[in-house]
Structures are given as C-alpha cells and as structure tokens.
Amino acid sequence: MSLTGGNRNDVTQLLPLLDKIPTVAGVVGRPRRRPAMLFADRGYDHDKYRRLLRKRGIRPAIAERGQPHGSSLGIFRWVVERTISWLHGFRRLRIRWERRDDIHEAFLGLAVCLITYRHIQRFR
C-alpha cells in the first residue's frame, strides 16, 4: 500500500506500487513476483508506461484515449469502484481528518477487515 497526497497524479505511483507487490504463492514452483497483466484506464495511456510494463514482463491492458468506450475493461473496473464505494461507507475514510499517516492507514486496515468479515458472513 502506498499513501500519497490527494493532489498527486496516480500514474506517478504506478511503478513504485508494482515494486511493492509481494510474491504470490499457490502454484508449485517459483512464486510469481509480478502480475501477468495490468488493467488500467485512460489516465495511464502513454507509450512510456506501456514500454516500462512490457520491460518488466507485464502485459498492459490500458484503454486508449480518443477511442470510443467499450474496451471491455469495465468488467474489471467495477470491482475497484465497488470496493472504493465500500470504503467510503466508513465516515472517517470518506474525508481524511487525520494528519498522521499511520492513523489513517490503521483506519483503512480496520475498514478492510470489516468489509472482509461482512463479505464472509454473507456466504455462511
């Protein structure tokens, strides 16, 4: 997880966020360090970032600017938008009141735990 100011452009945090991905266990053999594919919206549409992702062995699936909608990225994007909506259900996360980063991250962690618990309870 990475915490930055609200006025920072998201694309500046793309590569540092990819570097922080932990190993993915599960399949026998060497664990994966990187995702096979990265889905992103039009804000990330730049040849520089496509090139850097390919250099890392990640296939970019980035919507192109100026093209009509219907790139089929919406079926993946709604999961992210829904999760952000769930986080906004917690008043302390909707507007950041805490000055200290560690307190804000603690509330974020608690919210994720509560969301996960509620999700698990639905399937019992």
Q: How confident is the model at residue 13 (pLDDT cuts 50, 70, 90)?
A: confident
Output the pLDDT for position 71. 59
**DSSP tag of 86:** H
Does one domain contain both 62 and 90?
no
* Average pLDDT of the chain to the nearest whole number: 81
Output the pLDDT for position 91. 85
Q: Which two tokens stand for residue 116?
A: 């996960």
Residue partners of 15: CB distance under 8 A and separation at least 6: 52
User: Which residues span the domain enclosing 99?
Assistant: 72-124
In this predicted structure, the answer to whether residue 115 has a pLDDT above a threshold of 90 is yes
pLDDT in tens, 56-70: 888 988 877 777 776
Does one domain contain both 6 and 58?
yes
**DSSP tag of 89:** T
In this predicted structure, the answer to whether residue 120 has a pLDDT above a threshold of 80 is yes
Does one domain contain both 61 and 3?
yes
Does one domain contain both 61 and 84?
no
In this predicted structure, the answer to whether residue 113 has a pLDDT above a threshold of 90 is yes
The domain tally of the chain equals: 2
Q: Are the C-beta atoms of residues 20 and 2 closer than 8 Å to each other? A: yes
Higher model confidence: residue 78 or residue 91? Answer: 91
Crossing angle (nearest 10°) for helices 101-122 and 74-88:
110
pTM for the whole thing? 0.65
